[in-house]
């Protein structure tokens, strides 16, 4: 099992920055990828950024050049640095982990953290 705890959300003005953190615990050695998803009000959850165990990253087009995903393996923590925030970035942000298990994979979600971009 893997437990994920997000932190760092809040209210920020347009153009501002926030850094989200996701601390993983449990069977972290078998995690092969971690991601950030978001769910805007009234919309479906969408992938924001992904980082693999090898360090490969991928971003949604809407955040490229503004958001950066990174990981600290020593702390089992993944970060999402969000710069130049826009009102349309307002959403609940969720951490996601995918872990190798015998015969397949297992997935885990954090509880979510609210990000509100408003003046």
Per-residue pLDDT tens over the stretch 80-95: 999 999 999 999 999 9
Predicted local confidence at residue 27, as pLDDT: 87
SS3 87: helix
Predicted local confidence at residue 101, as pLDDT: 86
Q: Which two three-digit tokens encode residue 42?
A: 């009234």
What percent of the chain is modeled with pLDDT above 90?
A: 85
SS3 88: helix
Please state the length of the chain: 119
**What gap in Å lies between CA 95 and CA 111, rounded to an integer?**
8
- DSSP state string for 4-36: EEEE--EEE-TT--EEEEEEEEESGGGEEEEEE
């Amino acid at each position: 099992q893997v437990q994920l705890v997000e932190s760092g959300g809040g209210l920020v003005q347009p153009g501002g920055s926030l850094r989200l953190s996701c601390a993983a615990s449990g069977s972290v050695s078998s995690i092969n990828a971690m991601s950030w998803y978001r769910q805007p009000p009234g919309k479906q959850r969408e992938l924001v950024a992904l980082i693999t165990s090898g360090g490969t990253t991928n971003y949604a087009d809407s955040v490229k050049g503004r958001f950066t995903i990174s990981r600290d393996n020593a702390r089992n923590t993944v970060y999402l640095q969000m710069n130049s925030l826009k009102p349309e970035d307002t959403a609940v942000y969720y951490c996601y982990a995918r872990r190798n298990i015998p015969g397949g994979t297992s997935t885990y979600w954090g509880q979510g953290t609210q990000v509100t971009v408003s003046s």
